[in-house]
């Protein structure tokens, strides 16, 4: 159906501007889900490229707005208090909570799986400590 600017909008999508569609069909919206996301463009020491990320935004938020909050995942092992060790897709790595970012859902590429319950609790604990007043 036509929308502003004369572009054709696919059924079931919501217009978010030129070249961006709501990618609800990816089906990755739940907190604790690992998803493949394009992190580029980046600046300086930010984690780059397309990589697994953990969705940390609450499910209620994920259902109602066009963006999600994620934490990148890496195979690097660094002893930082803001990193949570986990095994994901049979690989050991870390969830990088010191590089939390917000993205439009159009960056979601595909669902990869979920982290285990212990890693989920560890993530929540570190986030609570990080944002405690």
Digit-coded pLDDT (tens) for 10-65: 334 344 333 333 344 455 578 888 888 888 887 787 777 889 999 999 999 999 99
Contact between residue 52 and residue 88 where contact means Cβ atoms under 8 Å apart: yes
pLDDT tens digits for range 66-97: 999 999 999 999 999 999 999 998 999 999 99
Q: The pTM is what?
A: 0.73
Evaluate whether 98 touches 82 at the Cβ level (below 8 Å).
yes
Fold assignment, 21-130: SH3 type barrels. (2.30.30)
């Amino acid at each position: 159906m036509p929308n502003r600017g004369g572009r054709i909008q696919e059924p079931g999508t919501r217009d978010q501007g030129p070249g961006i569609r709501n990618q609800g069909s990816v089906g990755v919206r739940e907190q604790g889900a690992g998803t493949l996301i394009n992190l580029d463009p980046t600046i300086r020491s930010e984690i780059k490229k397309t990589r697994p990320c953990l969705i940390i935004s609450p499910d209620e938020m994920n259902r109602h707005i066009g963006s999600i909050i994620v934490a990148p995942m890496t195979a690097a092992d660094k002893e930082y208090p803001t990193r949570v060790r986990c095994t994901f897709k049979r690989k050991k790595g870390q969830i990088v909570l010191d590089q939390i970012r917000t993205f439009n859902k159009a960056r979601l590429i595909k669902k990869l799986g979920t982290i285990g319950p212990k890693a989920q609790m560890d993530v929540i604990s570190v986030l609570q400590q990080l944002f405690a007043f």
